[in-house]
Amino acid sequence: MARIEFRNLGHAYGKNPQAPEDFALQPMNMVWEDGGAYALLGPSGCGKSTLLNIISGLLVPSHGQVLFDGKDMTDTPTRGRNIAQVFQFPVLYDTMTVYDNLAFPLRNRKVPEAEVHKRVHEVAEILGMKDALKVRASGMSADAKQKISLGRGLVRKDVSAILFDEPLTVIDPHLKWQLRRQLKQIHQQLKLTLIYVTHDQVEALTFADEVVVMTNGKIVQKGAPDALFERPDHTFVGYFIGSPGMNFYPVRVDAQDTAGIYIGNDRLAVDPDRVSQLKRAQGTLSMGIRPEFVELAPAGTEGALEAEIRHVQQLGTCQLVTGTVAGHPLKGKLETSVPVQAGRHWLRLARPQTIFFCNDERIAQ
Ligand SMILES: Nc1ncnc2c1ncn2[C@@H]1O[C@H](COP(=O)(O)OP(=O)(O)OP(=O)(O)O)[C@@H](O)[C@H]1O
């Protein structure tokens, strides 16, 4: 396995890129640690496949370098990189048995048959496919075929990294959950460098030690799942992670007011240190609060505002309320102990978990 490093690495498909939007991948420095399990998460078109293809060598970046264990591999073609890749759809030989499919990447590299036998059985055991080793792949379901593809990715011990490009897309939801757990287990056992591309946040958060969130060709945060939830570095992370995502409000400060901020015409009492931090920031200010941290408060409470709640939905573990505050949309997940009716209520929004952003980047918490 390898430590993979990007040095000022970026990619533009067109010639002479000038503005950030000319890049499918904006120039970045980044390290993928040896043995790390990473999920690469972002919406369609944000640059995930471009990044993966640069690691695997299918694409030579227009800018910067990619290094494996300190060695410059930027121009090394795929076959020289020792990367295993698992794609969205099964890649295998239909006419071969499961055993021969799993053995293929090893036999291709002239691994002795005794070792092939051992590895194939280990991987088949992990994937729960031991009883199917003699079965021909042609008659198998899409799920089973994709499991074999995963196995083909996992069977070699000598790879620099295994890249997964949305590998569970074709898998049935129940099996998906099982396979995700198995992949996590495999990672813990074998300490592989895994990079797993997905646009599904549940998949990313359950699989990875570190989640890398991308938007518009840029990595906006790399962190543990709880950090992405509690301390998003960028409004996009607040919006993209969580269900529903974070509430955002445009914020104004008043030179004369040292203990409050303004959302529309409503004043929200806020810790004076935060107010002075916001006054120092140069740019467009906003405040974010996750629905999970919104709470009911007595009328007139410091740090609370009056909100109009329009809908209340009982979700069992919480009440999901939808409405507006200071003319802006609001979603809150309130605890179930106090049943809430639609109407006007005071809600505490200035809380330790409330995050402030300047030009979409976190400045204070
Ligand atoms: N061969 C290409 N030529 C020109 N532009 C491309 C090419 N491949 C991708 N792009 C553009 O680069 C940007 C990033 O695409 P990329 O496929 O890396 O995104 P993605 O996050 O993997 O999307 P998806 O989740 O839909 O696969 C997009 O704007 C896309 O249109």
d(CA 285, CA 335): 29
Q: Which atom of ligand 1 is nearest to the CA of 214?
A: 21
Question: Structure tokens of 102?
Answer: 């799993």
Distance 136 CA to ligand 1 centre (A): 36
Q: Is the peptide bond before 244 cis (omega within 30 degrees of 0)?
A: yes
In the chain, how long is the greatest CA-to-CA distance? 79
Determine the residue of 22, 23, 46, 219 to mutate for testing ligand 1's pocket, defined as the one with the most ligand atoms within 8 A of the Cβ atom.
46
Per-residue burial over 89-107, b if 16 or more Cβ lie within 10 Å, else e, is ebebeeebbbbbbbbbbbe
Within the chain, how many helices (H) and strands (E) appear? 9, 21
Separation of alpha carbons 193 and 208, rounded Å:
11
The residue to mutate among 9, 11, 13, having the most atoms of ligand 1 within 8 angstroms of its beta carbon, is 13
What residue's CA is closest to ligand 1, atom 1? 13
Q: Which residues line ligand 1 (CB under 6 A)?
A: 13, 24, 42, 44-50, 199
CA of 194 to the centre of ligand 1 (A): 21
Report pLDDT digits (tens) over 94-126: 999 999 999 999 999 899 999 999 999 999 998
Cβ-based neighbours of 187, under 8 Å, separated by 6 or more: 37, 194
pLDDT of residue 233: 97
Do 7 and 166 meet the contact criterion of CB atoms below 8 Å apart? Answer: no
> What atom of ligand 1 comes closest to residue 13's alpha carbon?
4
Other CB atoms within 10 A of residue 75 CB: 11
41-92 pLDDT, tens digit per residue, is: 999 999 999 999 999 999 999 999 999 999 999 999 998 898 988 888 888 8
**Cα dist from 75 to 34, 125, 154, 261, whole Å:** 21, 37, 25, 53
- The pLDDT of residue 364 is 58
**What domains does the chain contain, in order, with CATH numbers?**
4-239 (3.40.50.300), 244-364 (2.40.50.140)
Residue from 50, 54, 58 whose mutation best tests the ligand 1 pocket (most atoms within 8 A of CB)? 50
Which residue's CA is the closest to the ligand 1 atom numbered 20?
45
Ligand 1 center–CA 25 separation, angstroms: 9
Q: Give the span between the Cα atoms of 43 and 227, in whole angstroms.
A: 20
Residue 47 Cα: closest atom of ligand 1: 18
Residues near 358 by beta carbon (within 8 Å), at least 6 away in sequence: 278, 281, 282, 283, 284, 285
pLDDT, block means (10 residues), the chain with 365 residues: 94 94 96 94 94 95 97 94 89 93 94 96 90 94 89 88 89 82 81 88 87 96 94 96 95 96 94 95 96 95 95 95 96 94 96 95 79
> How many whole angstroms from 332 Cα to the centroid of ligand 1?
35
| 307 Cα: distance to centroid of ligand 1 (angstroms) | 41
Determine the distance separating the centroid of ligand 1 and the alpha carbon of 89, expressed in angstroms.
18
CA 24 to ligand 1 centroid distance, Å: 7
Tell me the whole-structure pTM to 2 decimals. 0.90
